[in-house]
């Protein structure tokens, strides 16, 4: 294996060639982080003779893991064995599957996503505190339990430490939730980290077995780790402490998901022998953008000192548009977008970034008005659609016969006589007898206690599931299609769609897309092995299809833009109360402001050539027009890097009928929407 390191700058090369021991690479935005990780892995194999499967690389998304794997394959097409590249949760799943007995699980276990967990907890909270509390507080209870699990706090200890009635409710729900999940032989996302950590920390043989598998551990986006992930990494690192972490504390923006910026800030404390390399040469943005961004982030007191240096020239000052109102702001931003498009910059190379998705409304109105195609990143996921969740639940019932949550979801979908009373009776019988719901539905004594209509529906459902299970290994897609036909699921689609034939066809096409996904998987992995497909779609971040949208403008939140770049970026609504967000300041004080400052920095450094910042002097909130002030972060930017422009409201007469249509046509022509041949 040969490796050309001349393509690296001196700091990148220093990180790549580090001989061993703990290494912290502080990689600022646009400094070639992925290249460093990829080249370091390649260097370990090419120069140090480390076998690929002795190297473990951890990323935070499957997309990042795929990108790293693809880069290595381009460098070494015949590379074998390939390094192990995975997310934290993916690695945790692999460990649990091999150590399932030690983790207290049977071999075939489903992974419950947020919706499944919510369903389990809704039932538990309803039993503890009634339906009204379940509907009102289940998400809060779910969040508290997740936090306790990430802190490795046992439910018994949580109950002892309860400070008020709500914490007591959460602790009691946690106790039942733990037992319920054990009975279901299921795990949630938190378990994918917690169970491996507990095993490796409590079982010395297991720790030696797993830490002995890998000579080097590399972690990407280290600023996004939490205590549980840190403990997993520490348990996997052997005595040589060959741990390389790459990240940027200035881009730690996921505190609300449990990320702890303290982990990257305290790396040298956790590993005193650590070597630190700082990457400051930025290959993405022009100098004026980096200077402005540094002016914002440098005011954070808790950060590693660093300043990005542009390799692309000085750039031009940043326009700051001060608009009379939110509609004026939207009009000016859309006008600017179209001007850039007419000048040769495709819509796909532009983005509008918002602190909160709720700010999108006026921009959507203007974009629709001028017929400019756009996509919103963060809208409803394909896998979150009602009909998709139903069909996936049916498949889970076939693959995992003891998956009661999936079964209860489709028990009366479509309607087959199971009202609330019958459903509760079946669920209670399953719990009290220690059997799965499917097994209970086959018990004649239980069926005698429900209505004739419910009995008939139960028998038809169980027969359909059994038939599909028998056919699954032959052709998974065909088995699922037949199951949906047997249970008359199309009746459910007709009920959802009502009298709208387009809605019905749309939902049918969504199911066709899901079936196509199964066909594609089976063509690669053989028929019937759909438990792995189910796990993949549960672990994989939801794909909104934005990468295949083609020539469209992207609207997304500051958080959603992390890791992306665009030649032209509009930061809109840059006002006090929005950025920094009033809730962050109220709930987290100084720490909240620091996180918001990092969020502003991330948003600014998405821009490559041009950054335009805007605000509205007046914004409508809670039914009232409220005065707005420019964000304190704008005030931090030196005036030589900022050009202020006042955008005044233009008085326009109200137009009706043909006059309105003529004005619309004129405006579209001025924006170039109408081709001269059609004028």
Mean pLDDT of the chain: 88
- Residue of 220, 390, 575, 596 marked active site: 220
SS3 637: coil
Looking at domain 10-97+193-279, its CATH class is alpha beta
> What was the pLDDT predicted at 62?
87
Same fold, 10-97+193-279 and 309-373+541-647: yes
| pLDDT 10s digits, 112-160 | 998 899 999 999 999 898 877 777 788 889 999 999 998 999 999 999 9
Q: What are phi and psi of 552, to 5 degrees?
A: -135, 155
CATH superfamily entry for domain 309-373+541-647: P-loop containing nucleotide triphosphate hydrolases (3.40.50.300)
201 catalytic? Reply is no
DSSP state of 382: G
Which residues of the chain are modeled with pLDDT < 70? 1, 378-382, 499, 502, 539-550, 620-624, 649-679
- What is the 3-state composition of the chain as percent helix, strand, coil, each rounded to the nearest 5? 55, 15, 30
> What was the pLDDT predicted at 657?
40
Domain boundaries, given as residue ranges, for the chain: 10-97+193-279, 114-186, 309-373+541-647, 384-538
- Residue of 11, 123, 221, 609 marked active site: 221
140 catalytic? Reply is no
C-beta atoms surrounding 620 within 10 Å: 13
> What was the pLDDT predicted at 506?
74
Nearest to 228 by CA among 194, 185, 268, 189: 194
Query: Which one of 1.10.10, 1.20.950, 1.20.1080, 2.60.40 gives the CATH number of domain 114-186?
Result: 1.10.10
- Residue of 33, 69, 255, 349 marked active site: 33
> What was the pLDDT predicted at 379?
53
Read off the tokens for 339: 């001007």
Contact of 596 with 584, CB cutoff 8 Å: yes
Residue 352: beta bridge partners?
Answer: 555, 570
C-beta atoms surrounding 552 within 10 Å: 16
- Residue of 13, 17, 34, 126 marked active site: 34
101 catalytic? Reply is no
| pLDDT 10s digits, 333-374 | 999 999 999 999 999 999 999 998 778 878 887 887 788 888
220 catalytic? Reply is yes
- Residue of 194, 251, 402, 538 marked active site: 251
- Residue of 35, 597, 606, 619 marked active site: 606
Q: Which residues contact 311 (CB under 8 A, 6 or more apart)?
A: 281, 282, 283
Contact of 334 with 367, CB cutoff 8 Å: yes
Nearest to 22 by CA among 306, 224, 205, 266: 266
SS3 404: helix
- The predicted model scores a pTM of 0.78
Contact of 56 with 236, CB cutoff 8 Å: yes
Note the CATH number of domain 384-538.
1.10.486.10
221 catalytic? Reply is yes
Contact of 290 with 308, CB cutoff 8 Å: yes
Q: Is 437 exposed, middle or buried (0-12, 13-18, 19+ CB in 10 A)?
A: buried
488 catalytic? Reply is no
């Amino acid at each position: 294996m040969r490796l050309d390191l001349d393509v690296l700058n001196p700091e990148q090369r220093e990180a790549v060639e580090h001989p061993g021991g703990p290494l912290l690479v502080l990689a600022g935005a646009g400094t070639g982080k992925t290249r460093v990780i990829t080249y370091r892995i390649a260097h370990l194999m090419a120069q140090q003779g480390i076998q690929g499967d002795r190297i473990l690389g951890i990323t935070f998304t499957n997309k990042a893991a795929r990108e790293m794997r693809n880069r290595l394959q381009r460098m070494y097409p015949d590379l074998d064995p390939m390094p192990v590249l995975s997310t934290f949760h993916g690695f945790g799943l692999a460990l649990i599957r091999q150590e399932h007995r030690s983790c207290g699980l049977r071999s075939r276990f489903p992974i419950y996503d947020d919706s499944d967990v919510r369903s389990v907890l809704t039932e538990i909270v309803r039993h503890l505190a009634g339906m009204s509390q379940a509907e009102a507080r289940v998400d809060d209870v779910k969040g508290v339990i997740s936090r306790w699990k990430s802190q490795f706090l046992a439910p018994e200890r949580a109950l002892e430490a309860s400070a008020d009635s709500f914490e007591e409710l959460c602790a009691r729900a946690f106790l039942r939730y733990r037992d319920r999940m054990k009975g279901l032989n299921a795990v949630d996302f938190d378990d994918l980290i917690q169970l491996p950590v507990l095993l490796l920390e409590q079982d010395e043989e297991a720790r030696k077995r797993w830490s002995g598998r890998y000579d080097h551990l590399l972690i990407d986006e280290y600023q996004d780790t939490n205590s549980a992930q840190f403990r997993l990494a520490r348990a996997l690192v052997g005595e040589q402490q060959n741990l390389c972490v790459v990240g940027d504390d200035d881009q730690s923006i996921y505190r609300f998901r449990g990320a702890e910026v303290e982990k990257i800030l305290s790396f040298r404390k956790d590993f005193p022998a650590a070597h630190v390399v700082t990457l400051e040469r930025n290959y993405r943005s022009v100098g004026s953008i980096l200077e402005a961004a540094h002016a914002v982030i440098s005011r954070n007191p808790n950060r590693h000192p660093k300043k990005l240096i542009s390799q692309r020239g000085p750039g031009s000052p940043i326009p700051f548009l001060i608009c009379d109102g939110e509609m004026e702001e939207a009009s000016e931003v859309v006008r600017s977008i179209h001007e850039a498009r007419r000048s040769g910059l495709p819509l796909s190379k532009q983005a509008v970034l918002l602190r909160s998705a709720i700010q999108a409304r006026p921009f959507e109105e203007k974009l629709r008005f001028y017929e400019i195609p756009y996509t919103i990143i963060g809208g409803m996921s394909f896998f979150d659609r009602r009909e998709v969740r139903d069909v996936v639940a049916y498949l889970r019932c076939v693959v995992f016969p003891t998956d009661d949550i999936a079964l209860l979801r489709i028990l009366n979908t479509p309607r087959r006589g199971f009202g609330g009373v019958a459903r509760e009776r079946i669920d209670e019988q399953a719990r009290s007898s220690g059997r799965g719901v499917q097994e209970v539905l086959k018990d004649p004594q239980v069926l005698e206690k429900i209505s004739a209509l419910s009995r008939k529906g139960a028998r038809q459902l169980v027969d359909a599931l059994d038939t599909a299970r028998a056919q699954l290994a032959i052709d998974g897609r065909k088995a699922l299609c037949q199951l949906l036909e047997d249970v008359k699921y199309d009746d459910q689609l007709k009920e959802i769609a009502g009298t709208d034939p387009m809605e019905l066809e749309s939902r049918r096409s969504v199911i066709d897309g899901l079936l196509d996904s199964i066909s594609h998987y089976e063509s690669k992995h053989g028929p019937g092995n759909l438990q792995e497909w189910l796990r993949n779609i549960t672990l994989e971040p939801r794909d909104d299809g934005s990468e295949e949208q083609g020539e469209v403008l992207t609207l997304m939140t500051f958080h959603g833009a992390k890791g992306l770049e665009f030649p032209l970026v509009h930061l809109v609504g840059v006002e006090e109360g929005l950025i920094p967000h009033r809730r962050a300041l109220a709930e987290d004080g100084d720490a909240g402001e620091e996180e918001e400052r990092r969020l502003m920095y991330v948003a600014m450094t998405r821009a490559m050539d041009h950054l335009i910042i805007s605000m509205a002097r007046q914004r409508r909130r809670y039914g009232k027009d409220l005065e707005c002030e420019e964000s304190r972060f704008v005030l931090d930017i030196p005036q030589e890097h900022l050009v202020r422009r006042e955008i005044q409201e233009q008085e326009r007469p109200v137009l009706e009928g043909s006059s309105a249509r003529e004005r619309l046509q004129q405006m579209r022509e001025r924006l170039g929407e109408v081709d001269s041949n059609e004028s």
